[in-house]
Amino acid sequence: PEQLADEIKKYIPDFKINYNVDPMRQAIADSWPNHLDDTAARENWGWSPDYDLEAMTKDMIEKLKIKLIGELGNR
């Protein structure tokens, strides 16, 4: 969450994140690997991700602004 919050702060400097950890869900997440090796997909299929965290955040913020402007216009 902290990495995502840091990216969001580039667009919304006062952004703050608050959350409560659900121990059962956290236990599931803790069982996942920290990194995924996509080497085979890159080599065999020529795959590459469309988004990294920075690009995803930029796209998300832009789309949310459009959505909010539309919702405000419909009031």
pTM of the model: 0.70
Residue appearing with tokens 């796209």? 59
Range list of H helices, 1-75:
2-9, 23-30, 39-45, 53-73
Look at residue 1 in the predicted model and tell me its pLDDT. 84
Give CA–CA dist 6/4, Å, rounded: 5
Q: What confidence score (pLDDT) does residue 65 get?
A: 93
Using one digit for the tens of pLDDT, what is the confidence trace for 6-63? Answer: 999 999 999 999 999 999 999 999 999 988 899 999 999 999 999 999 999 999 999 9
Residue 3 pLDDT more than 90?
yes
What does the domain layout of the chain look like in residue ranges? Answer: 2-73
Please report the pLDDT score of residue 72 as a whole number. 84
75 has a pLDDT exceeding 80: no
